[in-house]
C-alpha cells in the first residue's frame, strides 16, 4: 500500500494534456485492504488502516468524484477511531491528495456520530469544511439538521466560522428552527449583522398562522440569557407588532417567566429595512486624482480582466491627455459603505446631453470579475501593468480605491465593487458643442440613469 504512492493519478473524466500511464494505486488496493481486514488480528488491521490512510493522504490525485469507497472509509473509521481526526487538519498530506475524500465521507455521516465528526471537521479546518458545501456535497437529511446546527452554535465565535455559509445554501425543516436561533445568538452581534438578518428572514419564511406552533421555533432558555440580541431576532422574524404576541404566547405556555417576557418585549424602534428593501444613499465623494491618456483614448473595466486578449468593452475618444477621476461612496443601513460610482471629468463645460456608452456585456457595459471597476487609458489596460504595480493592494475591506500609472502607458483609477459580478454601465456627458466633458460609471447600487434628466445625487 505504501509503495504504491507515486506519480499523480487522474480520473478519466479529467481533461489533461498528458495523462499518466495507468498504474496500481490505493484506489485499486483499497478493495483488497478491506477484504484482508477480515483475516488479520487487531494489530495487523490497525497497521493496514494506517497504511491505507497514509496512501490516501500522500498520493496526489485529481478528479471530481470520491475515489475512497464507502467500505474503505468504514474500515478506516472502525480501526482508527478518534485517531482518524488527525487526517482533517490543514497541511496533512499532499495539497492534491485524498484529504477531500475523507472529509466528504465525514460530511455525509448521519446521526449523533455524524454530528460529532462534523464538529471535528469544522474545528480542524474551517476552510476545508466551507469548501465542501461550495462544491455541492449532498445536503443533510432533515433529521440531521438540528444536531448540526447545534454544532455550528458551539463553534468558536471569533473569527466567525466561514462554514456558517452552509445556512444560505441548503434549506432546513421547521423543527430545526431552534437550532438556527441558537446559531444567530452564538455568532451574531446586533440587528444589522448579516447573519442575524438572514436567520430572521429564514424564520419569517417558516412562520405559520398559529402562534402556539411558532413558539416552538425559538430556543427560549438561550434567548433569556441573551435578551438584547434575542429581542431583535423576535422583532425581525415577524411582521410589525408580532413580537409582543409571540412573547405573550411563550409566557402563557410557560416557556419563559413573565419577567423574561417583559424583558424580551421591551420597546424597539423597528427599522424600515425590516419590512422591505431600502435604497442606498450617497455618503461622500473622494478625489482619486488625474490620470494620463497618451493617445487620448479612455476605456473602463475590471483591470484584472479587461484588456489584452480579453478586449475592451468600449473606447471613448477625448480631446485631452489627462482627466480627473472621482469616486462616489454610498451607504446602506444593512450593508454598510461601498463604492457606488466613478466620475471622470474631461472638461469644465456643463453637460447638456447624456448617452449610454455601448459595448461590453449585451452592449450595456462591463461585468467585474474580481470586484474592481476603473477608468484608464487604453494602453494601460492592454499592458497588464496592474498586476505588477498594484498586486494585492485592492484585495482589502471595501470601499477602497487606488491609482496607478507608467510614463509610457498612462494611468488608471480604480475602486472596489460590492457585488463581484456586478454589471457596470457608463454614460458619456456631452457639452452643447458635442464635446465629451464627463463620464459616469454606475456600479449598480444607485441605479443611475442620467438620460432620464434627474440630477446626479452627488
Q: What is the pLDDT of residues 61-84, one digit of tens each?
A: 988 889 999 999 999 999 999 999
Other residues' Cβ atoms within 10 Å of the Cβ of residue 448: 21
Confidence at residue 264, expressed as pLDDT on a 0 to 100 scale: 97
3-state secondary structure of 265: coil
Structure pTM?
A: 0.80
Question: Strand, helix or coil at 281?
Answer: strand
Residue-wise pLDDT for 159-215, tens only, equals: 899 899 888 776 788 999 999 999 999 999 999 999 999 999 999 999 988 888 899
The answer to whether 176 and 143 have CB atoms below 8 angstroms apart is no
The contacts of residue 184 (CB under 8 Å, 6+ apart) are 195, 196, 199, 200, 229, 233
pLDDT number for residue 237: 96
Q: Which stretches in the chain have pLDDT values below 50?
A: none
Provide the pLDDT for residue 133: 67
- CB atoms under 10 Å from CB of 46, counted, come to 16
Measured between its terminal Cα atoms, the distance across the chain in Å is 68
The SS3 of residue 43 is helix
Q: b/e map of 144-163 (b: 16 or more CB within 10 Å)?
A: bbbbbbbbbbebeeeeebeb
Amino acid at each position: 500500500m505504501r509503495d504504491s504512492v507515486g506519480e499523480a493519478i487522474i480520473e478519466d473524466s479529467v481533461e489533461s494534456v498528458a495523462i499518466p500511464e495507468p498504474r496500481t494505486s490505493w484506489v485499486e488496493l483499497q478493495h483488497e485492504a478491506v477484504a484482508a481486514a477480515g483475516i488479520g488480528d487487531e494489530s495487523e488491521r490497525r497497521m493496514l488502516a494506517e497504511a491505507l490512510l497514509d496512501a490516501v493522504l500522500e498520493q496526489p490525485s485529481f478528479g471530481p468524484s470520491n475515489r475512497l469507497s464507502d467500505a474503505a472509509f468504514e474500515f478506516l473509521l472502525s480501526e482508527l477511531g478518534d485517531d482518524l481526526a488527525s487526517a482533517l487538519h490543514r497541511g496533512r498530506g499532499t495539497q492534491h491528495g485524498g484529504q477531500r475524500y475523507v472529509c466528504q465521507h465525514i460530511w455525509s455521516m448521519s446521526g449523533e456520530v455524524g454530528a460529532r465528526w462534523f464538529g471535528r471537521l469544522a474545528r480542524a479546518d474551517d476552510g476545508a469544511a466551507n469548501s465542501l458545501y461550495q462544491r455541492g456535497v449532498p445536503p443533510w437529511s432533515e433529521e440531521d439538521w438540528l444536531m448540526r446546527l447545534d454544532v455550528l452554535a458551539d463553534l468558536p465565535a471569533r473569527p466567525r466560522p466561514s462554514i456558517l455559509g452552509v445556512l444560505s445554501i441548503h434549506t432546513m425543516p421547521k423543527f430545526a428552527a431552534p437550532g438556527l436561533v441558537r446559531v444567530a445568538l452564538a455568532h451574531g452581534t446586533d440587528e444589522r449583522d448579516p447573519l442575524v438578518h438572514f436567520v430572521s428572514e429564514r424564520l419569517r419564511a417558516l412562520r405559520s398562522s398559529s402562534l402556539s406552533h411558532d413558539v416552538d421555533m425559538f430556543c427560549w432558555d438561550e434567548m433569556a440569557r441573551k435578551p438584547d440580541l434575542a429581542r431583535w431576532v423576535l422583532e425581525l422574524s415577524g411582521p410589525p407588532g408580532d413580537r409582543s404576541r409571540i412573547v405573550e404566547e411563550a409566557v402563557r405556555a410557560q416557556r419563559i417567566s413573565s419577567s423574561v417576557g417583559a424583558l424580551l418585549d421591551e420597546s424597539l424602534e423597528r427599522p424600515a429595512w425590516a419590512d422591505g428593501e431600502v435604497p442606498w444613499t450617497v455618503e461622500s465623494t473622494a478625489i482619486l486624482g488625474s490620470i494620463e491618456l497618451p493617445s487620448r483614448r479612455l476605456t473602463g473595466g475590471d483591470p484584472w480582466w479587461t484588456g489584452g486578449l480579453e478586449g475592451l468593452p468600449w473606447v471613448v475618444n477625448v480631446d485631452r491627455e489627462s482627466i480627473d477621476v472621482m469616486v462616489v461612496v454610498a451607504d446602506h443601513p444593512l450593508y454598510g459603505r461601498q463604492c457606488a460610482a466613478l466620475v471622470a471629468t474631461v472638461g469644465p463645460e456643463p453637460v447638456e446631453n447624456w448617452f449610454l456608452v455601448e459595448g461590453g456585456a449585451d452592449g450595456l457595459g462591463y461585468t467585474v470579475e474580481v470586484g474592481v471597476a476603473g477608468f484608464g487609458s487604453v494602453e494601460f489596460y492592454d499592458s497588464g501593468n496592474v498586476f505588477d504595480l498594484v498586486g494585492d493592494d485592492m484585495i482589502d475591506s471595501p470601499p477602497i480605491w487606488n491609482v496607478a500609472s507608467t510614463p509610457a502607458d498612462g494611468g488608471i483609477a480604480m475602486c472596489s465593487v460590492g457585488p463581484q459580478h456586478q454589471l457596470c454601465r457608463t454614460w458619456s456627458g456631452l457639452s452643447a458643442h458635442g464635446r465629451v466633458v464627463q463620464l459616469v460609471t454606475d456600479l449598480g447600487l444607485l441605479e443611475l440613469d442620467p438620460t432620464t434628466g434627474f440630477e446626479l445625487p452627488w
